[in-house]
Amino acid sequence: MNLLLIEDDLKIAAFILKGLRKAGYMVDHATEGCEGLRLALEQTYALLIIDLMLPGMNGIEIIRKFRQAGRDGPVLILSAKNDIEDRVQGLQDGADDYLGKPFSFAELLARIEARLRRPQPVITSSLCVADLKVDLVRGKVYRDSHEIILQPLEYSLLVYLMRQNGRVVSKDTILQEVWDFNAGSLTNVVESRICQLREKIDRSYEPKLIHTIRGCGYALMVQ
């Protein structure tokens, strides 16, 4: 069973890796946030163990991007930030468990095994609407079998719209769910990204899939 550890403290990482491998797990290790996210999206892991304070990209941002990409695998946070408020925030941001530092390996192993005993959700490996397909494992997008290159935010926006199953979503909702912003004054950012996404997804193809619902927002569907 494969796990991913994202931890920049080499002493702590060595302690965890030694124990988990002795317990029979195969573990990949990343010391930097961006590299950890890349591995998490390119591979399929039974569980992610993520430190919060990481170079390159912090743990919360990794979890948000992991979830935005449609990945449902369990995530356990390790952090020296151990207040109740920190624990609650970590769980609200998409983690499944939170273990404060310092910790005993016995407790870490028990939490991992308890999480892995629970029924796992069926992992959706792709999303499809008409001839538009998103490969969630590889992070690739295809229309009529042609690969379409998207920027990271465009990809997150497309996945979010496709997961709504044709439901209309407002600019404010998109701004909050995809960008994690609440400021209504920034809705022009959504308009700009929708325009860019429509240019890549719809301009050369039929049927058109990204629709503006006047006064309401946007929907991705076949009309």
Instruction: Read off the CATH number of the domain in which 24 is found.
Output: 3.40.50.2300
pLDDT at 89: 82
Q: Are residues 18 and 110 in the same domain?
A: yes
**Which own/partner pairs from 124-131 qualify as long-range (CB within 8 Å, at least 24 positions apart)?**
124/70, 124/72, 127/70, 127/159, 127/162, 127/163, 129/162, 129/209, 129/220, 129/221, 129/222, 130/207, 130/209, 130/222, 131/205
Q: Are residues 55 and 74 in the same domain?
A: yes
Q: Are residues 52 and 99 in the same domain?
A: yes
pLDDT at 76: 95
Domain boundary among 77, 97, 117: 117
Q: Are residues 48 and 140 in the same domain?
A: no
Domain boundary among 117, 151, 182: 117
* Cα–Cα–Cα angle for 134, 205, 127, rounded to 5 degrees: 15
Domain boundary among 94, 117, 140: 117
> How many structural domains is the chain composed of?
2
pLDDT at 119: 67
Beta carbons within 10 angstroms of residue 74's beta carbon: 18
Q: Is 201 in contact with 158 (CB distance < 8 Å)?
A: yes
Q: Are residues 17 and 76 in the same domain?
A: yes
Residue numbers of the chain with a pLDDT score lower than 70: 119-124, 180-187
pLDDT at 58: 92
Q: Are residues 148 and 81 in the same domain?
A: no
pLDDT at 69: 78
pTM tops 0.85, yes or no: no
Residues facing 76 on adjacent strands: 49, 97
Q: Are residues 37 and 144 in the same domain?
A: no
Domain range for residue 34? Answer: 2-117
Q: Are residues 136 and 186 in the same domain?
A: yes
- The dihedrals phi and psi of 64, each to the nearest 5 degrees, come to -60, -45
Q: How confident is the model over 43-71, as pLDDT tens digits? A: 889 999 999 999 999 999 999 888 877 77
Q: Are residues 86 and 191 in the same domain?
A: no
Alpha carbon separation from 127 to 70, 74, 122, 124, 148 (Å, rounded): 9, 20, 13, 8, 15
Q: In whole angstroms, give the CA distance from residue 120 to residue 73.
A: 8
Q: How confident is the model over 177-213, as pLDDT tens digits? A: 777 665 455 668 888 999 999 999 999 999 999 999 9
Instruction: Read off the CATH number of the domain in which 205 is found.
Output: 1.10.10.10
pLDDT at 110: 93
